[in-house]
């Protein structure tokens, strides 16, 4: 018997059924739509991210307030909530904003500004009026009240938009044809375009629905670049060459400078005038207006130094309080304006590692306020090491984003109480300090700190057979006198990039790695090698006059590198 016709008949029937089933499937998946957004809960859409859990916003008296946690996670990692003092601090490039919950007055750069609706604290976190945030964060907010939905767009450069090119298209939940439909779109409907995945564009409709449309069904265009409205801080630069700065240590009383001439090529002088002396933020001042007058008459900018008394407990106390940080900032601004300062140099040292983030917060709060007054901000940092209080406490990358300059204190390689003798700043150690800092900070923001001092080391054998080591800091002139008065042996130490001298007296050996024009020239040459902003020297009065000629040659004359 011939059964081939029966087999053919069965195959045809199967194929027809399959086609009917597929047609029905496509009919039903295009007839019904599935919303990608949850129903009956507040839904926040930030670009193409949907947030529906944890009450991302609340609506009160027709005002939308955005959750602090959402702001911190999705809009501003630097927003700061002081739980103890019930204060919110927002810092931008040019603004420091302070809000207290239930208050209709905000402080913007220390000036009171009335707001139409206050921040609210709900259970464990504050909620902030969303329209207050629009200008601060450069965002666009669309509130769809009837759907309990809020859409936030960031004002990005090069945003991609699209219009539907065919008569009608169904937006899909996923980038495949068999995916559930989300909504029907018709010709010329506008969507925001995010990405292209396997021939499908991820898009968002004007009412916040997110899904996918086929690449060939969408005409994509890029919006014109957004104008850069961010204000540019005028970073102080000299008339020629690199910055040349020196710190001036002021012990108790600022000296009369009227008869002194500024060294050639010096741009900035930093008197050590201000100290925070307690945890309540009290600042002691040694400032003198006649010093400012002398400096300005000699074409020197004055970047007054403020320190933290190098006390970690005092520092922890004042950094931990929003009110105290604000008090300190207001005092600094007052002194800066009173004494017509050109800049502030922050010299906070010996800080607990646990206060690392609070230190960044303080600098973020201070800088916009000083910038608004036309005052430059620099900060001193140490060479990277494993010391918690003296190195790890600095978040160099974040600090470098905020201040005008970070000054690398490239000295004290062997510090005053070091158990072994050695150079204050050997050339290899200094260069390595520069290289590791440049991993986090652009070179144009780095000023290299140079030592005008050195240490004399005394090594004495003990009864136990060990060597007792002690040291004293010396100026260049003092070293020259010691070399003259003693039977010293001196040779060039290639590794240190310095002259090395030693002499004996009794059972003790005295060693000096000399800082002089040769060693300073080698270190200063690194500024041009790495494209740094300039040099800062510790400290005025410890140098020999020839050093200024060396620095002038290295910093002010055209580089040969």
The residues annotated as belonging to the active site are: 349
| CA distance between the termini of the chain | 98
Place of tokens 């090529």: 265
What is the enclosing helix (H) or strand (E) of 221? Answer: strand 218-222
Instruction: Kindly state the tokens that stand for 379.
Output: 């900060």
Distance of CA 551 to the CA centre of its chain: 30
Q: How far apart are CA 475 and CA 462, in angstroms?
A: 29
Q: How far apart are CA 162 and CA 167, in angstroms?
A: 15
Helix 356-372 and helix 312-319: axis angle, to 10°? 60
Q: If DSSP codes are grouped into helix, strand and coil, which group holds residue 395? A: coil
Q: How far apart are CA 118 and CA 333, in angstroms?
A: 27
- Distances in Å between the alpha carbon of 240 and those of 8, 343, 357, 406, 553? 93, 19, 37, 20, 12
- Among candidates 334, 247, 258, 325, which has minimal Cα distance to 291? 258
DSSP 283: E
Q: How far apart are CA 128 and CA 117, in angstroms?
A: 9
Q: How far apart are CA 365 and CA 420, in angstroms?
A: 41
Give the 3-state secondary structure percentages of the chain, helix then strand then coil, rounded to 5: 30, 35, 35
Neighbours of 62 (CB within 10 A): 8
Q: How far apart are CA 88 and CA 73, in angstroms?
A: 15
Residue 413 backbone phi and psi in degrees, to 5 = -55, -50
Neighbours of 536 (CB within 10 A): 26
Within 286-339, where are the H helices? 289-297, 312-319, 322-338
Beta-carbon contacts of 520 under 8 Å, excluding residues fewer than 6 positions away, are: 450, 547, 550, 551
Place of tokens 């906070």: 348
Instruction: Kindly state the tokens that stand for 155.
Output: 């004002």
- Among candidates 421, 353, 432, 427, which has minimal Cα distance to 386? 353
Q: How far apart are CA 119 and CA 249, in angstroms?
A: 46
Place of tokens 């017509």: 340
Contact 322, 80 (CB under 8 A): yes
Contact 98, 87 (CB under 8 A): yes
Beta-carbon contacts of 9 under 8 Å, excluding residues fewer than 6 positions away, are: none
DSSP string covering 403-419:
SSEEEEE---SS-TT-S
Contact 540, 246 (CB under 8 A): yes
């Amino acid at each position: 018997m011939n059964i081939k016709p029966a087999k053919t008949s069965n195959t045809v029937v199967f194929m027809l059924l399959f086609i009917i089933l597929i047609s029905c499937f496509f009919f039903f998946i295009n007839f019904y739509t599935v919303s990608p957004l949850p129903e009956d809960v507040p839904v926040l859409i930030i670009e193409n991210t949907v947030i529906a859990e944890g009450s991302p916003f609340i609506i009160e008296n027709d005002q939308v307030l955005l959750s602090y946690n959402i702001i911190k996670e999705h809009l501003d990692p630097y927003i700061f909530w002081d739980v103890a003092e019930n204060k919110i601090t927002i810092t931008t490039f040019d603004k420091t904003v302070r809000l207290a919950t239930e208050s209709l007055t905000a402080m913007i750069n220390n000036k009171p500004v009335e707001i139409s609706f206050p921040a609210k604290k709900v259970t464990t976190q504050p909620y902030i009026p969303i329209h207050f945030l629009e200008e601060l964060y450069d965002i666009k907010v669309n509130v769809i009240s009837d759907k309990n939905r809020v859409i936030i767009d960031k004002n990005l450069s090069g945003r991609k938009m699209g219009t539907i090119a065919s008569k009608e298209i169904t937006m899909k939940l996923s980038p495949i044809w068999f995916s559930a439909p989300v909504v029907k779109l018709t010709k010329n409907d506008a969507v925001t375009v995010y990405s292209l995945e396997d021939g499908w564009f991820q898009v968002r409709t004007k009412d916040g629905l997110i899904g996918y449309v086929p690449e060939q069904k969408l005409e994509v265009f890029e919006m014109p670049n957004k104008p850069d409205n961010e204000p540019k801080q005028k970073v102080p630069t000299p008339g020629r060459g690199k910055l040349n700065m020196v710190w001036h240590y002021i012990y108790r009383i600022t000296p009369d400078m009227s008869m002194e001439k500024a060294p050639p090529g010096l741009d900035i002088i930093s008197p050590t005038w201000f100290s925070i002396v307690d945890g309540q933020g009290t600042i002691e001042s040694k400032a003198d207006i006649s010093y400012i007058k002398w400096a300005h008459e000699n074409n020197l900018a004055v970047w007054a130094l403020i320190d933290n008394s190098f006390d970690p407990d005092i520092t922890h106390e004042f950094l931990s309080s929003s009110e105290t940080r604000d008090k300190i900032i207001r005092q600094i601004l007052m002194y800066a304006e009173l004494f017509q300062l050109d800049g502030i140099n922050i010299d906070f040292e010996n800080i607990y590692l646990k206060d690392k983030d609070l230190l960044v917060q303080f600098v973020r709060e201070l800088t916009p306020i000083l910038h608004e007054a036309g005052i430059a901000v620099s900060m001193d940092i140490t060479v990277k090491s494993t010391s918690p209080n003296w190195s790890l406490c600095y978040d160099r990358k974040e600090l470098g984003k905020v201040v005008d300059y970070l000054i690398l204190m490239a000295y004290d390689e062997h510090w005053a109480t070091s158990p072994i003798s050695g150079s204050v700043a050997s050339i290899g150690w200094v260069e390595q300090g520069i290289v590791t800092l440049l991993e986090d900070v652009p070179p144009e923001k780095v000023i290299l700190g140079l030592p005008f001092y050195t240490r004399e080391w005394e090594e004495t054998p003990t009864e136990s057979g060990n060597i007792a080591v002690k040291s004293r800091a010396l100026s260049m002139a003092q070293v020259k006198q010691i070399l003259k008065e003693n039977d010293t042996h001196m040779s060039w130490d290639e590794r240190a990039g310095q002259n090395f001298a030693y002499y004996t007296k009794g059972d003790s050996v005295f060693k000096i790695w000399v800082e002089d024009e040769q060693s300073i020239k080698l270190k200063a040459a690194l500024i041009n090698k790495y494209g740094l902003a300039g040099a800062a020297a510790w400290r005025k009065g410890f140098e020999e006059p020839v050093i200024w000629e060396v620095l002038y040659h290295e910093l002010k004359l055209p580089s040969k590198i």
